[in-house]
Amino acid sequence: MSFASLNLAPELLRAVLEQGYTEPTPIQAQAIPAILNRMDIMGCAQTGTGKTAGFTLPLLQLLAPLASTSTSPAKHPVRALVLTPTRELAAQVEESVRTYGKYLPLRTALLYGGVDIKPQIKSMQGGVEIVVATPGRLLDHMEQKSVNLSQVQMLVLDEADRMLDMGFMPAITRILAALPPMRQNLLFSATFSEEIKKLASGFMRNPTMIEVARRNAPAELVTHQVYEVPALKKHALLAHLVKTRDMQQVLIFCRMKRDADKLSRQLIRDGLSATAIHGDRSQSERSLALDEFKTGKVKLLVATDVAARGIDIDQLPFVINYEIPNTPEDYVHRIGRTGRAGSPGEAISLVSPEEMDYLGSIEKLLKRQIPRLPLPLLGGDRETRAPREREPSAVSRAAAPALSEDERRERAEQRRVREAKDSGRARRAPYAGGSSTPPAPLPAYPHFDFSKPYEPPAKDAAHDVAAVAAKAPLPHRPQARSIGALLGRKKLDKV
Ligand code: AMP
């Protein structure tokens, strides 16, 4: 199939050709005709499937007849709104809109937080047809009346699952309420939980479900490995692996941003080239870190889950979970960064005794035990204190300003760790790691039957959109999701 057969305008075909794309990806082949037919779409697709062009190209085509060369701002009302969970993704989407729309006189604005709002207000004053925004900053603009959404005809929620995970439901609900009811809605999500379906059913009109597996399903190309290692030895093991295996490009995950910073500083002290990317860094610092990593100037990028979202790097050979995630879905998202574009990838997890429960949930999701690798002898067994997040005091909590995306997650994580400690939960697996004192004998996977499929924990009571909107944006605990959808297996027709 060619792009020309999708009835795209010559201006768009020219832009696509310049990108060197020869044929549409599966999601593009399905989504473009459906969107051009003005249908609402629920697309189950991860980053890397070509989903951005899948919604951007038809969006541009539908708006093209409304483009105006007038200089009057009134002739350039906001007609399309794209919401994304992170600044990085917003920037990538906006760049795609500019790239594919370069031969059309449509104007675009990029609105995200963490930077001065004034230039964004100025860019809106001239009039723009397409706004790409993160929910929090868009609300700021709505409050300042620097954006008028009354003429929006198309709404795109990109990585909707991530937006819900990050606690954006109340913001999304407020934004939806500000949009005209008659519009086309497109929702993209890597996973489809009950919560996403509930959100969709609240505002979409009989949406068509489009589902594609990743261009390369992670399971086929990624080797999973685990080192059971005491937290105090993780840093030495990481440095050892990078050096002895001559790793040239590694994305390393920490759960918390302070840990990410600390680890990257430790790695630099080890003589390795490393940088960190997380929500506390300015947008230009994050962009620079990502660029340096992509171009190979820096070998090790230490990231938090939130900051790494939307990062699109083809042929990333290694993902190392310095700390494994506390939800199995995040594991799938993390490893989705490697094993792409036909290249094999390795997902290596450094798991301390405290994290064995989390590992158990991940293995249950994958329906197999991840092979354990023997711990190498670490030079002099130089122990570096593992980065640990200190509990914020009640005073600092009270004085804290509005929480950023990363911070909300971080607080939720701290609470979970605290709760886990309080409830004194038994660890699930016997611990095999390291020479330092292992934990007391543990039961062998007491609740863990590999022969049975993963069963997500019981869901919280269902809550409707209005009820959620009434609440403050509390840290959101990710809901359990269908594994079929997560791993791109299940095929749905209509929702
Ligand atoms: P996305 O899933 O939208 O993040 O896209 C992933 C990558 O695929 C981006 O680097 C795009 O430039 C690239 N891409 C999008 N569409 C195509 C296509 N039809 N052929 C080849 N590459 C594409």
The token duo for 422 is 């309080």
Condensed to tens digits (0 to 9), the pLDDT of residues 53-101 reads 999 999 999 999 998 888 889 899 999 999 999 888 899 999 999 999 9
Whether the full predicted model's pTM is greater than 0.85, yes or no, is no
Ligand 1, atom 8, lies closest to the CA of: 50
Q: How confident is the model at residue 29 (pLDDT cuts 50, 70, 90)?
A: very high
Nearest atom (ligand 1) to Cα of 19 = 12
Could you write out the DSSP letters of every residue in 401-460?
-SPPHHHHHHHHHHHHHHHHHHTTPPPSS-----SSPPPSP--SSTT--TTS---PPPPP
Condensed to tens digits (0 to 9), the pLDDT of residues 384-421 reads 444 443 333 333 333 344 555 555 655 565 565 555 54
Ligand 1, atom 17, lies closest to the CA of: 50
* CA neighbours closer than 13 Å in the CB half-sphere of residue 331: 30
Could you write out the DSSP letters of every residue in 315-365?
T--EEEESS--SSHHHHHHHHTTSS-TT--EEEEEEE-GGGHHHHHHHHHH
Contact criterion met (CB below 8 Å) for 303 and 79: no
Cα separation values, 401 from 156, 243, 404, 407, 439, Å = 30, 41, 9, 10, 39
Q: Which has the minimum average pLDDT: 128-137, 254-263, 287-296, 481-490? A: 481-490
The token duo for 162 is 């991530």
Contact criterion met (CB below 8 Å) for 113 and 130: no
Ligand 1, atom 11, lies closest to the CA of: 50
Ligand 1 contacts (CB < 6 A) are 21, 24-25, 28, 47-53, 312
Q: Is residue 481 predicted with pLDDT exceeding 60?
A: no
Q: How confident is the model at residue 167 (pLDDT cuts 50, 70, 90)?
A: confident
Mean pLDDT of 23-41: 94
Choose the residue to mutate in 290, 312, 340 for probing ligand 1, maximizing ligand atoms within 8 Å of C-beta: 312
Work out the mean pLDDT of the chain and round it to a whole number. Answer: 78
Domains of the chain with CATH codes: 3-211 (3.40.50.300), 222-366 (3.40.50.300)
Q: Is residue 495 predicted with pLDDT exceeding 70?
A: no
Ligand 1 mean position to 58 CA, how many Å? 15
Nearest atom (ligand 1) to Cα of 312 = 4
Nearest atom (ligand 1) to Cα of 24 = 19
Contact criterion met (CB below 8 Å) for 354 and 330: no
Choose the residue to mutate in 3, 17, 19 for probing ligand 1, maximizing ligand atoms within 8 Å of C-beta: 19
Q: Which residue has the higher pLDDT, 292 or 157?
A: 157
**Mutual angle of helices 87-100 and 283-294, in 10-degree steps:** 70
Ligand 1, atom 16, lies closest to the CA of: 50
Ligand 1, atom 5, lies closest to the CA of: 50
Dihedral, CA of residue 295, residue 300, residue 302 and residue 303, to nearest 10:
30
Ligand 1 mean position to 312 CA, how many Å? 9
Q: Give the per-residue pLDDT at 446.
A: 32
Q: Which has the minimum average pLDDT: 56-65, 140-149, 342-351, 411-420? A: 411-420
